[in-house]
Amino acid sequence: MSEIKIVNQYISNKADLSERFSNIYRRNSNNINRVRLLLNDIFSYYFWLRHYGTPPLIELETLNRCNMTCTFCPVNVNDDTREYNKMSDSLIEKIASELEEMNFSGKIFLCANNEPLLDERIVDVCRLIRNKAKRAKIIISTNGILINKEIYLGLFEAGLNEMVIDNYNDKLTLIKPVVRLLDDIIE
């Protein structure tokens, strides 16, 4: 099953906002609850690893760049101090082959601390990963600036299961490329 999710980090209703913040405060004010959540994550990961012999998820950053100016992010386009780096095709193929050998069935995020659509090979990378890791769930998270119908359809035709568009917008509106995509795919 394929799906697209559009996420907006901002909340339109002030009452909802205050309720969410109070819930976050209550949840985080108790160190025992934080430890329980952390332990739950650790044990879930450990169980998956013991049961399946592979990690539950893998992040694959094929290009270490982003095109956003998010002030909260240390690798935004204005503050990134990393040297430009693009994963070699041979390394991507090696990773794909290793996923096949492992019979990987977890989640593969074709993104990490970057904007995956900046890599013009992303559709081909998705296709290669799908061909090698047939049981995996392949996911991309994008800021949506570069999204268009061609990329969207190309990724899902290549085997993508889920696309998350993180619509960073404090005006509570969809950014233009996302609006165009929705208009194009809903026609």
Among residues 141, 114, 136, 128, which one has the least CA distance to residue 57? Answer: 136
Q: Rg of the chain over CA atoms, in angstroms?
A: 19
Strands 3-7 and 107-109: unpaired
The per-residue pLDDT for 43 is: 65
More confident residue, 30 or 63: 63
More confident residue, 112 or 39: 112
d(CA 67, CA 171): 19
Quote the mean pLDDT of the chain.
Answer: 81
The per-residue pLDDT for 24 is: 40
How much is the pTM? 0.75
Q: Write down the architecture of domain 3-10+54-186 according to CATH.
A: Alpha-Beta Barrel (3.20)
The per-residue pLDDT for 163 is: 93
The distance from CA 105 to its chain's CA centroid, rounded to whole angstroms, is 17
Buried b (16+ CB within 10 A) or exposed e, 100-136: eebebebbbbbbeebbbbbbeebbebbbbbbebbeeb
Among residues 133, 82, 135, 89, which one has the least CA distance to residue 112? Answer: 82
- Using CB atoms within 10 Å of the CB of residue 176, give its burial: 0 to 12 exposed, 13 to 18 middle, 19+ buried: exposed
Question: What is the torsion angle, in degrees rounded to the nearest 10, for the CA atoms of residue 147, residue 179, residue 20 and residue 112?
Answer: 0
The per-residue pLDDT for 71 is: 83
- Domains of the chain, by residue range, sit at 3-10+54-186
The per-residue pLDDT for 38 is: 60
Confidence of residue 174 (pLDDT cuts 50, 70, 90): confident
Confidence of residue 99 (pLDDT cuts 50, 70, 90): very high
Express each pLDDT in 126-162 by its tens digit: 999 999 999 999 999 999 999 999 999 999 999 999 9
The per-residue pLDDT for 20 is: 40
Picking from 22-36, 111-125, 131-145, which range would have the lowest pLDDT averaged per residue? 22-36
